[in-house]
Structure 1
Amino acid sequence: MSRHLDLNVALVDKYLKTYDYPSLANYLNISFKLEKGSDGIPLQFDFSDTVLNSLHKILLQIINEEISENHQNILKELFRSLRNYVINIDVQKYLSNDSFLNNVKIICESSLVTNDILQVVLQFLINLVVSNEIAAKKVYAVFQNQIFGSLKQNVNTYENSALLYNISLHHAIELDFDMYVCILQLYDNRNNIEFLHFLIEKFITYDNFWTNYKKIDLHRRLVVLGVIREKQIKGEKLDLCDYALQTLSNSFINSASIIFQTVSSNENDLEPYEVSELLQVISSLSSDDSYLKKLQNDKDLLINVGVVLINIHKLGKDTENYFSSIQSLSEVRQPTQQMSKHPAFGFKADLIRIIGNLCWKNRTMQDLVREAELIPVVLECCNMDARNPFIMQWGILAVRNLCENNLENQKIIAGLHQEGTVSSTVLEEMGLTLHSSGDENGVKIVPLDALRNHR
């Protein structure tokens, strides 16, 4: 639905000739006040080139007079009028011309234009570029320096980030290193601005962003990984380029050993948490068909994951530490807060998950796991562990993927023999235990009290 715009152009000209800007501002305020339909959506004004030319005439007169404090109120009402008018798509097209945009730029560059006026100008530009690819490209070409400068000064950050994001929907906005860091910093400090979040989601799809990723400081890298993890947890689509995938993999490979710093303490340094976040991101990506085949070409990733798994598993068995398994039924059901906040929480499960996924229908990876002597370690991890939720399920899936159409791996598992029984804290809490009778019947689950009475 639309509504007729009854603007008296002759009256506007009279106010301009007499420099009666207060009356003109009041008239524009009344004429362009939005009304909503029964559905709550603002009604569009009918298109009129005569009206648009009249509004442009007001802008030109102000520019020719040299902007002063006397123009502040009329400028604010002029751009409010344009903001409300430009929701009409024909108005968008009409105003998407270089002459008009360059005159708006003159206003933005004036030192006498206040931030509240600039805020309304930005709101107008946002409405101009919405669903308008041509306008988005032109606005970016004309105003990118103003947008970047304002963001660096943290001025009108909501409007500038909203404008930049809406432009990015139609036009790639590859930034330099400093600008990427600026937006990450703004998001970290003021993450209540949703458009900063949307911009980071957009950036992670750019090759150019990932060429700068390694230069970004650790804290900001964690911000990026956090945004990726949030999308993964929500099940939202990620459009990571091949270079992004390789960068994430290399970052983990080069820093994975840092996790061993936390073997006996709840390390407060951010580096172990980055390693943990990287692993979570990669393990989740390995469950996505669009990334799995690319990851299955990365032998270095599998080898390094395997080395880390072997060492973590060995450290956890040698002494009681943050890598040791916890099979207490109460803690399996509800891990302690201290446990769940440790960077190694879930780490071993994610390693197993990656190994299993990389071996899915891939003979090269299956054979590499066998050659690296990882199969026994994977089998030993098929137990409940409060420090690694779902590790048993990921372990079983890994064994299945390792054995599928691979007789050599099947023979390795078939050749393993029982070396006694292992005490199970979970079973003991349930009043049960594992018992080997030494005969061909193998291991049985028996009531713990019955076994004690028998002895």
Structure 2
Amino acid sequence: MAASSDNMENINSALCEISKEKLTNTHLTTLQTVTKALRDEQLRNSVDREALGNLYAVLSRLYVDFHHLMEMDSQEEGSLCYKLTAECFRAHRNACVQCTQNQCCLRDLGSIKLSFEILAKLLKISSGGSNDIYDALRCGVQFLGNIAVGNQLCKDDIWELGFPHIFRDLLELPDEKAVSYTCMVIHTCLDEHKTEQLVKDTQQLKLSLKIMDLCRSLPDVDWTIFIATQHFLKSSELIRKMYTEMTNDARLTLLELILAQLGVAEKEKDCLMPLSVAQFLASCFTDHCRAVLTLSSESSDDQAAMVVIRLLDILCEMTSDCKEFMALQDHAGLLSTTVDLLKEVHLLGKTSKNVFTAAHDFSLTRPGGADTHPVFGFKAQLIRLIGNLCHSHIVNQDKG
């Protein structure tokens, strides 16, 4: 314990110096020592309020320095300030690891609010692409992620201060790590109530649309997938509003995600989304399914047709004896629309040589042959959906 007390005294003394003296590289080394010390679980759990207060005082001092730096435009002093800010955020981050006491103390001191104020300033000057600035942004967001874990009060504060504008600005950064950490924070904070806030107006909806866009543009960032599958897909209103605003490219991203997750949910016996989402997708199919017929023309809109094909794939999976979605058998017009579409596709294939022709010889138009064309297997999927909708359903069987 004596060693721990000595360490605490040294930390307090060092932090006091940083908050009062002219900043130098020596102070950066000191902060790095504090960051390293806070990795130790025993020391972290024994940190007193005075030490955390001194750590907060350093962050406050750095915030004040930003004002002077922006006025002076000193590149050298700016670089040191950004490095110190990043290191101070790292120390804050480490202090919060699995330590509710430190999380609550730093929240009470005002570290969350101050962090957002610093992040806002960093965002304004990030266009220059300085690595030191990006490093400070990354570390600041990581701190918010750590202080939020397992602490509802901190989650609520972070959401109130960051949603939607600062979150959106962070997601627009050309820095994959900063974007990934921001998605981590959003995922940590989200719950059913906060998810419903995403549909309140255009600005809120833009955040969810940006996250869905990142699912496509940054496929290696898992947090976007977690946000979409664990939160977005559970809100039928959000899915409906996003889908309405999306381009066909973005819709395909969403539909591919749903299709992939249906397979995961089946293995884990977990319901992926409410029935109302499935019913909405069924309505999208019945309303727009004839767009696939344009594939018989050389000047076709492949993306609109691909949306229809993916909707059909999803409906086939949902109605493959999945009890949560079998109410789709009673969905108005789904069976009759599917039957009519099958007739039209078959007739198109017979009247002229095109992608729906039974011969399926596309070698002249698409390398690799028939099985590489997006419409390959479409008629089989239509038949599969008809079969699923009629399975153990006397009324639908009689319609057939």
TM-score normalised over the length of structure 1: 0.69
Taking the aligned partners of 1:272 and 1:289, their CA distance within structure 2 comes to 26
What's 1:292 paired with? 325
Amino acid at match of 1:358: L
| Deviation of 1:59 (Å) | 2.1
How do residues 113-132 of structure 1 correspond to structure 2 at under 5 angstroms?
114-132=133-151
Structure 1 position 221, deviation (Å): 0.8
Letter of the structure 1 residue corresponding to residue 346 of structure 2? H
Are 1:209 and 2:239 matched, yes or no?
Answer: yes
Q: Distance in 1 between matches of 2:109 and 2:392?
A: 56
Deviation per residue, 1:327-376 (Å, 9 max, x gap): 99xxxxxxx9432232322212222222222223322222222xxxxxxx
CA apart distance, 1:32: 2.4
Equivalent pair of 2:252/2:307 in contact (CA under 8 Å) = yes
Q: Which moved more, 1:72-81 or 1:163-172?
A: 163-172
Matching of residue 96 in structure 1 with residue 129 in structure 2: no
CA contact (8 A) 2:112 2:144 kept: no
Structure 2: how far apart are the matches of 1:245 and 1:262?
A: 26
Per the alignment, in what secondary structure is the counterpart of residue 171 of structure 2?
A: helix
User: Which residue, 340, 348, 354 being the options, matches 2:371?
Assistant: 340
Residue deviations 1:58-101 (CA, integer Å, cap 9, x gap): 22333455543253332221111111121132222333347232
In 1, distance between residues paired with 2:141 and 2:84? Answer: 16
* Residue pair 1:285, 1:292 contacting (<8 A) in 2 also: yes
* Cα distance between partner residues in 2 of 1:34 and 1:17: 22
Aligned to 1:168: 190
Unpaired runs of 5+ in structure 1?
Answer: 329-335, 370-455
Q: Which residue of 1 aligns with 2:45?
A: 46
| TM superposition shift of 1:117 | 0.9
Separation in 1, partners of 2:192, 2:280: 26
AA aligned to 1:19 is K
Partner of 2:290: 257
Map Cα deviations across residues 159-195 of structure 1 (whole Å, 9 max, x no partner): 2222222222586334333333333333333323222
Change in CA separation of 1:94 and 1:170 when aligned onto 2, cut-off 3 Å: farther
- Percent same amino acid among aligned pairs? 21
Partner of 2:29: 26
The answer to whether the 8 A contact 2:39-2:94 is kept is: no
Spell out the pairing of 1:1-400 with structure 2 (5 A cutoff): 6-7=7-8, 8=10, 9-33=12-36, 45-48=44-47, 49-64=49-64, 67=67, 68=69, 69=78, 71-90=81-100, 91-97=102-108, 99-110=110-121, 111=124, 114-144=133-163, 145-154=165-174, 156-168=178-190, 172-173=194-195, 174-175=197-198, 176-201=204-229, 202-206=231-235, 207-235=237-265, 237=270, 239-263=272-296, 269-287=302-320, 289-316=322-349, 321-325=354-358, 337-369=368-400
Q: Structure 2: state its 5+ residue gaps.
A: 70-77, 127-132, 199-203, 362-366
Aligned AA (1:89): C
Paired amino acid for 1:101: I
Structure 2 letter corresponding to 1:74: L
**1:302, CA displacement in angstroms?**
0.8
Larger radius of gyration: 1
Instruction: For residue 238 of structure 1, report the CA deviation from its aligned partner.
Output: 5.2
CA distance, structure 2, for counterparts of residue 171 and residue 22 of structure 1: 45
SS of the counterpart of 1:204? helix
Superposed displacement of residue 283, structure 1: 1.0
Which letter maps to 2:21? T
Deviates more, 1:259-268 or 1:153-162: 259-268
Amino acid at match of 2:328: L
**In 2, distance between residues paired with 1:15 and 1:282?**
62
If asked which structure has higher relative contact order (CA below 8 Å, sep 6+), I would say: 2
Following TM superposition, the consecutive aligned residue runs of length 4 or more in structure 1 with deviations greater than 6 angstroms are 34-37
Distance 1:98 1:137, change over 3 A: farther
Contact 1:21–1:71 (CA under 8 A) maintained in structure 2: no
Question: Any idea what the Cα deviations from partners look like across 1:258-304, whole Å, max 9, x if unmatched?
Answer: 22223476956212111111100111111253443320221311110
User: Secondary structure of the equivalent of 1:122?
Assistant: helix
Query: Could you tell me whether the CA contact under 8 Å between 2:35 and 2:94 is conserved in 1?
Result: yes
CA contact (8 A) 1:86 1:92 kept: yes
Shift of 1:310: 2.5
- Secondary structure at the aligned position of 1:214 is classed as helix
Counterpart residue type for residue 304 of structure 1: T
Aligned equivalents of 1:43, 1:316: Cα separation in 2 = 73
Task: Describe the SS at the equivalent of 2:36.
Answer: coil
8 Å Cα contact 1:228/1:281 also seen in 2:
yes
Secondary structure, aligned partner of 2:50: helix
Asked if the contact 2:248/2:303 (under 8 Å) is kept, the reply is: yes
Q: 1:57 to 1:347 in 2, by over 3 A?
A: same
RMSD between aligned alpha carbons?
A: 3.3
Q: Distance in 1 between matches of 2:96 and 2:144?
A: 9
